[in-house]
Amino acid sequence: MDYRENKEEPQVAWIDIECDHQEKIANSFAEFLDLLTLDVNEGDLVIQTENSIEENAKQIEQILEIKFDAPEHFNSGYASYRGKYKDSWIWLTPNQVPAGFVREDDKRYHELKDKMSFSAVQYLDIPEKDLFLVLSEEDLNSEVMERLGNHNMKIRPITELLQNSMTG
């Protein structure tokens, strides 16, 4: 916030004193907020469910005739299932995730571990029980959606669910 010219409604500016550079981003904070956009991987799919990620993983394995690796928690602190479908990697992850995490090998683990008991959703406009299914080869999305849909799994592109958020 740059209060130098207008103390009631300051501009939003990028000021780098080391490089002696400044750049006006917006005339006001409200104008700055209007510039924000939701960054979404448009190829992501959302499984609309009330079941656990474990139950969904088993069902997907049966329908797609694949096997997920044991869930991995190291990179993000929550269960991430990974498998192979044809020539594509496929990942299954939750919308509701820990709001923070600390790895067991971190020197502050014992100090911080009890402070990580709260959770948050990755996308507010998507129900917390829903799951994300991502394929490295997005040209297989339609096929996967059809196969899962034929077994009564509700699956949609994330862009359909976030349409209002993405367009403002």
**Interval 145-154: pLDDT, tens:** 999 999 999 9
Same domain, 112 and 70: yes
Same domain, 65 and 29: no
Residue 85 lies in a domain: yes
What is the amino acid identity at position 43? Answer: G
Same domain, 31 and 61: no
Evaluate whether 53 touches 79 at the Cβ level (below 8 Å). Answer: yes
Q: What is the enclosing helix (H) or strand (E) of 47?
A: strand 45-48
Confidence label for 72 from pLDDT (cuts 50, 70 and 90): confident
**Token pair in block for residue 19:** 């490089």
Confidence label for 46 from pLDDT (cuts 50, 70 and 90): very high
Same domain, 119 and 160: yes
Who's near 122: CB < 8 A, 6+ residues apart?
A: 95, 97, 132
Calpha distance 41→136 (Å, rounded): 11
Who's near 46: CB < 8 A, 6+ residues apart?
A: 95, 126, 130, 131, 132, 133, 155, 156, 157, 158, 161
What is the amino acid identity at position 111? Answer: E
Same domain, 27 and 52: no
User: What φ, ψ does residue 33 adopt, rounded to 5°?
Assistant: -60, -35
- Do you know the residue count of the chain? 168
Give me the domain span that covers residue 27: 1-35
Average pLDDT, integer, range 44-73: 96
Same domain, 85 and 124: yes
Same domain, 88 and 149: yes
Total number of domains in the chain: 2
Residue 40 lies in a domain: no
